[in-house]
């Protein structure tokens, strides 16, 4: 049986809700063969981030080389890449023939900062230009577009700035932290605009929502789906995953990666 393949390059979450663990669960439940490269080992749980140890550049390079020389992924996503030197190592492996989803992870849901200022500059100038899709939340879009965002008008302006200044194919600004609904807005380089709305669930259990959303987009791109269809599937997946969250942990708990049927 042939399976499509996807790769996540990101940090870990031993409590299983975010980072690489969320990505692999998302790939698996979309029936895509998941692979993963660890950039940072993060001690975190539903209450916050408590310790971070970066993996050496040599190890990241060796992990990349072992994957790409053996099982080439059909789509790739990056999450937490804390240091610009790590991006230097990863950059040559990203090429335009394999769809690349860039989740510009900067701050965890708990409010803890996950990447350095220099890394943010590097991702703006080097990684985002290679992306098929970039998926900032509200505060990440504010950093990328260098403007405050409070409503739909600002979202459109910020998205256009990200598209014209950084050159990804598509930007999706996630609305989990904007307004009273849960609306996500996609804008393409070709000038298309689309949005998806789901009910906004009144819950604190949203740990890993961003990772999961971008991982599902990656899985669907690996299958060859069109970007807009992939975003629509990811929206349905995350909405069900939040609605049916398992209520685990003592803080902002994880979502349910098994809530959506294939
Ligand atoms: N309370 C909620 N109810 C329904 N959907 C939500 C809720 N919070 C976030 N989402 C959705 O989860 C996805 C991730 O969004 P967001 O939480 O903004 O990203 P991040 O985890 O990067 O901060 C988006 O599709 C967003 O609309
Ligand atoms: C290793 C790692 N990567 C990313 C996040 C952000 O998670 P969220 O999806 O809640 O924004 C996280 N908490 N840990």
Closest ligand by atom to 43 CA: 2
How many angstroms is it from 70 CA to the middle of ligand 2? 28
Secondary element (H or E) of residue 216: helix 209-222
Residue 64 lies in a domain: yes
CATH number, domain of 216, equals: 3.40.1190.20
For 83-137, what is each residue's pLDDT tens digit?
Answer: 999 999 999 999 878 999 999 998 777 777 788 888 888 999 999 999 999 999 9
Domain assignment of residue 259, yes or no: no
- Among 19, 208, 232, 253, the active-site one is 208
ipTM of the predicted structure? 0.98
Q: Does residue 254 lie in a domain region? A: no
Measure 137 CA to ligand 1 centroid, in angstroms.
8
Flag whether 84 is in a domain: yes
Known catalytic membership, residue 25: no
Residue nearest to ligand 2 atom 8, measured at CA: 208
Q: Is residue 170 part of a domain?
A: yes
**Is residue 253 a part of any domain in this protein?**
no
What are the pLDDT digits (tens) for 155-202? 999 999 999 999 999 999 998 777 778 999 999 999 999 999 999 999
Ligand nearest to the CA of 26: 2
Domain range spanning residue 159?
A: 5-243
Q: Does 248 reside within a domain?
A: no
| Ligand 1 pocket at CB < 6 A | 109, 137, 174-177, 182, 184, 198, 200-201, 203, 206, 209-210, 213, 235, 238-239, 242
| DSSP E strand boundaries for 62-165 | 75-78, 100-102, 133-134
Q: Which helix (H) or strand (E) holds 62?
A: helix 57-68
The domain total for the chain is 1
- Domain-embedded: residue 35: yes
């Amino acid at each position: 049986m042939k399976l499509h393949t996807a790769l996540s390059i990101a940090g870990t979450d031993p409590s299983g809700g975010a980072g690489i663990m969320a990505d692999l669960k998302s790939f698996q439940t979309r029936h895509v063969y998941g692979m993963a490269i660890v950039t940072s080992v993060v001690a975190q749980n539903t209450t916050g981030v408590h310790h971070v140890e970066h993996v050496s550049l040599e190890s990241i390079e060796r992990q990349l080389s072992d994957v790409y020389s053996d099982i080439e992924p059909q789509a790739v996503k990056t999450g937490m890449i804390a240091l610009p030197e790590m991006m230097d190592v990863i950059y040559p492996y990203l090429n335009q023939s394999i769809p690349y989803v860039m989740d510009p992870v900067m701050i965890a849901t708990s409010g803890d900062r996950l990447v350095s200022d220099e890394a943010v500059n590097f991702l703006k100038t080097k990684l985002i230009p290679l992306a098929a899709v970039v998926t900032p939340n509200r505060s990440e879009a504010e950093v990328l577009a260098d403007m405050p965002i409070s409503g739909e008008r600002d979202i459109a302006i910020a998205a256009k700035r990200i598209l014209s200044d950084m050159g990804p194919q598509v930007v999706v600004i996630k609305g989990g932290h904007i307004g009273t609904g849960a609306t996500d807005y996609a804008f393409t380089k070709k000038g298309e605009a689309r949005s998806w709305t789901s009910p906004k669930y009144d819950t604190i259990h949203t740990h890993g929502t961003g990772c999961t959303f971008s991982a599902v987009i990656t899985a669907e791109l690996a299958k060859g789906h069109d970007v807009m269809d992939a975003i629509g599937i990811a929206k349905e997946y995350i909405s069900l995953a939040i609605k049916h969250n398992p209520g685990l942990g003592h803080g902002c708990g994880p979502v349910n990666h098994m809530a959506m049927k294939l």
